[in-house]
Every structure is written in structure tokens, then in C-alpha cells.
A and B are shown apart, each in its own frame.
Chain A
Amino acid sequence: MATEELVRIDNLKKHFKISNGIFRKNTVVKAVDGLNFSVYKGETLGIVGESGCGKSTTGRLLMKLLEATEGKMYFEGEDVSTWDKQKLKARRRDFQMIFQDPYASLNPRMIVEDIIEEPLKTTDMSKEERKARVKQLLDDVGIPQDYRTRYPHEFSGGQRQRIGIARALALKPKFIVADEPVAALDVSIQAQIINLLVDLQEEYDFTYLFIAHDLSVVQYISDRVGVMYLGKMVELSESDDLYENPLHPYTQALLSSVPVPDIHHVKDRIPLEGEIPSPDNPPSGCPFHPRCPIAKQHCKEEVPSFREITEGHYVACHEVK
């Protein structure tokens, strides 16, 4: 696998302040709390986690749609925080996003060809070049050319997501953040879109950060998978390695809950006790300790470091040796 770093994030944090009125203390929600990882060129890095674990916030931070509270982000070795407005505008074409909800991510008052052409207008392409590019993109994502002048509401969810994908691809980005791109779709359509995403990666040669909460989807598409819990990454490894040999108790519990399509399969589920704690008041020490089946006293006191156990397999757990 290629090991050239495309994106690296270093102790990335995003804290949201929630105002409770003038007389009460403001709450701080630690949506993302100290993330470290790299995305290598040409790979697909899957990010999984429960709702509210900060995976979408991570995607938005990488897209520069949110300003990080703390930490550094490097794109092709350049510190993103040093980019001024002009530079950011020029570099935006290199990283694009596919959104979760295809019903809300397309302007209802624009026709399809205008939606796809819009990002191209930020470049110096001529009108003819843009039209040709839109035509190409429609072919790439499998939308018939006749539908060019239709409005988003005239399409099904899967087709809308294809339009969203075409728009993200328009500028030939190097890096695409796909934020649960199939979560809002019917199961029958999900596979089509996943396959389309895989095919397009081969054709266009870009890098994915693939955010999802569906472990089987992530396993299929990802080269490496990171598991997030309460704004932190608890485990990161090569996809096959992670699924065969999960080390963190949270990952083990998650994987044991994946349904297996085999009637003879004896389920060995590890039930998780309790609720996911609120990120405005995370537990001390290891954030997972209140629900962890193997938690010890030191788990409540010390925050585990994110260590490399075997080559390329990182875990944040005191009990993993």
C-alpha cells in the first residue's frame, strides 16, 4: 500500500460552547477531543462510531467547514491553518464532500446541470469546457443526459446522491470526505451507490475518508478503519486486521453486534451496559471505562495513550498489551 501521507491531523479538537443563559455556566461539548491520524494517498479510511461520537464533526473539520478549537491539520504536508482566504479558496477544489442526506444537500431551485456546473464556475474553465465536463460527470455517475434540466425533487434518493457525487467529483479533488453517503438510502440502493463510489475511486484516483455507522459497509469499502468513541479514536488498523483481531473492548463489542447472514452462526454478543455518556461531561480517564467489561481502577484515572501495538494497529486502551 502507498504510504505517502495526504492528510495528517495532529491533536485535533473541536469544542462547542453551549450558552445556558447569562446566569449559568456555559456547557462545553467536546465533540472532537484530540484526534491523531493520517490518511494515505489513494486509500480509503473508514471512520465508524455511534451517533454523537464526533465522526461528522471530524469530516467537517477536515473540509474546513468548521474551525478547529485546537490542533493542526496538514494537507499534502502544508499546515492548513496558515492558509489565508485566497489560498483556501484555491485549494478547496482538492478536497470535497459527499453529504449524508441527498434530499437536503441539493438546492431545490436549481436544475441538475447547474448544480453540477456550479463548482466548475470557481475555476477558469470556459463555458464549453464546463458543459462537456458536466456531460462526462453525468455519464460517470449514471444519470441519463436527458435528465439534465430536471429539478432535484424529480429524482429518487439514490439518483440524488449520484448527483451529489457528481458535484463532489466535478473539480477532480484529491480527497473526498463521504459523510455517511448511504445512510439515508434504501438498503437496495446502498450497494449500488457503494459500488459507484468504489468504481469512481479507481477511475479518478482520489482518497476517501469514509464516515459511517454501518460496520459491514465500512469493511467492504475501506483499506483501514478507525473506531471513534466520544470524540476520540480508540482503535485504528488495517480493515481486515481490525475485523479479525479487534483489540479494544469497544471495537469487540461493536463487531459482535454485526448481524451475520448465516442461520447456523452462533452469536457471541458482547452486550454494552449503559448509555453513551454525554460529550459535555465525559468520564474521567478512559472515556469508555463506565461501560467497559474489563475496566480496572487505573482506567478511571489515567487517559490511555493511542499506541501502536503491532505494525499499523493503534489502540487506546490500558489493558491491551
Chain B
Amino acid sequence: MSDIWYQFKKNKIALFGLFMTTAFIIAAIVAPLLAPYDPYKMSGAESLAGPSMAHWLGTDQFGRDIWSRIIYGTRISLKVGIISVGISLVVGTLIGVVAAYYGKWVDSVLSRLTDVMFSFPDILLALVIMAILGPSLTNLMIAIGIVYTPIFARIARGAVLTIKNALFIEAAKSMGISNVKIMWKHILPNSLAPLIVQVTLSLAFAILAEAALSFLGLGASPDTPSWGIMLSEGKNWMEQAWWIAVFPGIAITLAVFSFNVMGDGLRDALDPKLKNESS
């Protein structure tokens, strides 16, 4: 572990990503402390007010405080990110591990299935699933989860294929350990590294997808403080009040960027080949 941390902290941008990610998580947890206003509270007198001391990032057309809504928006974004990526991680890893471990026709069936899902553009597939399930935040998370499942399945399959012929797997078989236990205790812990990296990268995608789908009106109800919804609402007022759309946009960019660079840094730190070059 200390070795991985040593490699990771050499990468300053990745360190920034980790810092920002931590900041977002803290913001989501202590949102009521950081937000000066109720994100739902409307105030006709203050509508479309520009950034000021009272409203740091201005207000929207209903007089709601943008800063407060962005802070509360981290909750939605992280929730969507974590739950949807959690769905794809669990389901995808299960598919990938089973496909690679049993091989033969099991592998063929599962791999072709993931290939089919891969062949659809991400957002389009999410749109189709949302159209079937109906728009709501829960369905949004399910849709994004399904869309990113094949990535995890493929990564897990690849990782397991390299590990399943290891001698210690054969040793476990010779001791009469059951297949399920071999997969859980021997194969999974040894193929976790690429999956962890993919989790951080997928979090960024999921946040982006949430924003995109919310922008299209397929996510949570329109009054919810979600970055995507704020962006969508703000676009109607771009000429009078640029701050309504720009600040949520910056929040999305920053979150996605942070997760991405953190994921990149993690991938480099976990790659043993890079380790040898630098030491």
C-alpha cells in the first residue's frame, strides 16, 4: 500500500484530483453547513441577481441561490455516480469473472452479450433504457449502471484470464476448494487493481451522463438541485444571466476532471511496469 501511495503522490495532478474529490465528498456530507440558503427556497425579488456578496454565484430565474444549489448538487452527482458505478461494478465483475473462469460456451455467451451492449453509443443506450423505465432519479442510476456494466465485465474478464492459470489457483483446486471460493478469495483480490482504476474513471463518466440526461429532462424532477438540471434551466437565460448555466458547468467540469486525473494517477501507480522504470 505505501508503495502505491509513494508512486501516486509523485504525480501532482493526480494528487490535485484526489484533493478535489475529497473536497466534493466533504461538501456533499456537510452541504447544510456550506450552503447559506435553502436550495429550494424561491424569492421573486431576487430573481436573476448577478454574483454579489449576498449571493456569491448569483441567483436563478426563481431567485434560488446558485452556490447553495451547486453544493447540494454534489449530493445528487455523487449519489448517482456511486450507485450507478456500484451497479456496473458488481454486475460487470460478476459477469466477467464467471465468463473468464468457466470459459468455453459460458464465456462465448457472456462476452457476445457484452459486445452487443458495447455496440450502442453510451448516451443512446441510456436514453432507450430511460424511455422504457420512465424518468426518475432511481431509473437514471439504473440506466447509467446498465450502460457501464460491459466495461467492467470486459476488464474483469481480462484480469481473470491472466490470473486463472496461476499455480496458486491450481493449488487451491488440488485442495478441494470450491469454485465459488476460488473466485472470491483467490481470483478477485488478485484482479482488483484495474477495476479500482475503472471505478474512478467511470465515476466521472457517470456524473457527466447524469448531467447530460438531466439536461434532456430525463433525470430527477426539475426543481431538484442537480448540476445537469441547473445547466438545462440556465441555457434559457444565457443572454440575461450567464451565471445560472456557467457555474454548474464549471462544477461538472471540475468534478469530472478530478475523478479522471485521480483515476489516471491510480492506474499509473498500480502498474508494476512503470514502477520498475522509475526506481
Do the two chains belong together in a single complex? yes
Interface size bracket, B side: 10 to 19
Whether A118 contacts B172 by the Cβ 8 Å rule is yes
Whether A107 contacts B176 by the Cβ 8 Å rule is no
Q: Is A194 an interface residue (CB 8 A)?
A: no
Q: Mark A160-178, 1 if CB is under 8 A from B, else 0.
A: 0000100100010000000
Whether A104 contacts B173 by the Cβ 8 Å rule is no
How many whole Å from A132's CB to the nearest CB in chain B? 19
A-B contact count (CB 8 A): 54
Whether A109 contacts B174 by the Cβ 8 Å rule is no
Whether A99 contacts B171 by the Cβ 8 Å rule is yes
Taken together as a complex, chains A and B put the C-alpha atoms of A299 and B168 apart, in Å, by 43
Whether B171 contacts A92 by the Cβ 8 Å rule is no
Whether B177 contacts A104 by the Cβ 8 Å rule is no
Q: Is B170 an interface residue (CB 8 A)?
A: yes
How many whole Å from A182's CB to the nearest CB in chain B? 16
Whether B174 contacts A106 by the Cβ 8 Å rule is no
Whether A105 contacts B175 by the Cβ 8 Å rule is no
Q: Interface residues of B: mostly helix, strand, loop or mixed?
A: helix
Candidate in B171, B189, B190 with the most chain A CB atoms within 10 angstroms: B171
Taken together as a complex, chains A and B put the C-alpha atoms of A107 and B83 apart, in Å, by 31
How many whole Å from A163's CB to the nearest CB in chain B? 11
Whether B176 contacts A109 by the Cβ 8 Å rule is no
A89 partner, pick from B170, B171, B176, B190, beta carbons under 8 A: B176
Taken together as a complex, chains A and B put the C-alpha atoms of A100 and B167 apart, in Å, by 9
Q: Which of B's residues lie within 8 Å of A, judged by CB?
A: 166-168, 170-177, 185-186, 189-190
Q: Assuming A96-B174, A167-B175, what are 9 further A-B pairs, CB within 8 angstroms?
A: A89-B176, A99-B170, A101-B167, A104-B167, A105-B168, A106-B168, A107-B189, A110-B186, A118-B172
Give 27 A-B contacts (CB < 8 Å), ordered by A residue. A63-B174, A65-B173, A65-B174, A88-B176, A89-B176, A92-B175, A92-B176, A97-B171, A99-B167, A99-B170, A99-B171, A104-B166, A105-B167, A105-B170, A105-B171, A106-B168, A108-B190, A110-B186, A118-B185, A119-B175, A119-B176, A119-B177, A122-B175, A122-B176, A122-B177, A164-B171, A167-B175
